Amino acid sequence: MAVAAGGGRACSFPPAEVEAVAADWMLDFACYCLCRHFVEECTAEFRRWRGVAQALINGLSKIPTHQKKPVYLCQLLIRIANGKKLECHFENDQRISPLESALSFWTLLEREEIKLEKLHEDIRCLIQIQTVAVHMENGYFKEAAEVLERLFTDSESNKPLRMKLATIIKSKDPYVPLLENFNYNLLISKIKSYVELFMKENETNFLIQAAIKQVESKGLGATSLQNKAVNVDENDESNLETKQRLMKKQQSITNQSPGDINTTARPHSQQKHRASNVLQSLNNLQNVEKHGDALASGRRRQRWTSKEDLELKSGIREFGVGNWAKILVHGDFNNRTSVMLKDRWRTLCRLKQD
């Protein structure tokens, strides 16, 4: 047995190999955390883990085959998060916007799997649409035309979408139905769907499992973390009713595919009026979020009604256990949060066992 100078046991493996395995675990964990904070829209935490993930990726001399998907996904999310910032550059070519750069990583991700063809195509089209839209929203119509040429190098690739976008650029009107219906929020929503699937596939991450065991072994620590999670979730969702109204309004749009680009033209004044209403709704939502703590502290606990229990069971049958946010949006609940739904389901399960 090899013994270290200090009397301890010496490492019997080459340090480089040990470091490589540990780095693998750390990269998987960083990617998982980055995904989670992207889905939950925790900006500060997303930025923190973005730095961690980027540092780990930069340390790779070559991307191992099994790490290609996490690396590409991290790079995609970092660019999508900065998608509307044309002054932000990730490529040496200053003409390449964050979304155009994101599209290159989305292409790499598509090559790593083939089981989500419909979702892949939707996201690809949305990135292309929004790459053009962001330039138009900033008044860069010439640049938008140049972007279009780079996006569709093959004249036959998705020809209907290419022709539609070319017509929109010529009109110099960023409020046309196509750009409004297939907007940035829809792009984020679709990417979140993809990220959630990735997270579900990677729940067995070694560091996550090790951390869960460590927390569970400490009893009180686990209870404290759970209570903290409940408080944070309730504060974040204190604006629940407003969010539900906005999300239900947009649900019909969210269910559309970017491939369905044949939209009915509307008068320019109606388009501007609609855009104004959307901005007003978003402003109202931001105001509610600012005062979320006050609203949450004033909320009283309410008994669950039999109707809410039926809504919860119906939602679980449709979306499955764990998809609390989807169940919350689609169900008719009385000022509940996703954490409340999860806790109520546990209670119902215990009552059934008793």
In angstroms, rounded to a whole number, what is the distance separating the alpha carbons of residues 151 and 130? 12
- Single out the residue of 243, 212, 206 nearest to residue 225, CA to CA: 212
Instruction: List per-block mean pLDDT (blocks of 10 residues) for the chain, which spans 354 residues.
Output: 49 74 91 95 94 93 91 96 94 94 94 80 94 94 94 78 93 90 93 92 81 75 45 44 49 55 44 43 41 41 85 87 80 82 86 71
Please tell me the predicted confidence (pLDDT) of residue 350: 81
Beta bridge partners of 3: 9
pTM comes to 0.61
In angstroms, rounded to a whole number, what is the distance separating the alpha carbons of residues 186 and 23? 34
- Single out the residue of 196, 160, 158, 189 nearest to residue 255, CA to CA: 189
Residues 6+ apart with CB under 8 A from 94: none
Supply the DSSP string of 146-212, one letter for each residue: HHHHHHT-STTTTHHHHHHHHHHHHHT-TTSHHHHHT-HHHHHHHHHHHHHHHHHHTTT-HHHHHHH
Residues 6+ apart with CB under 8 A from 164: 178, 261
In angstroms, rounded to a whole number, what is the distance separating the alpha carbons of residues 38 and 78? 9
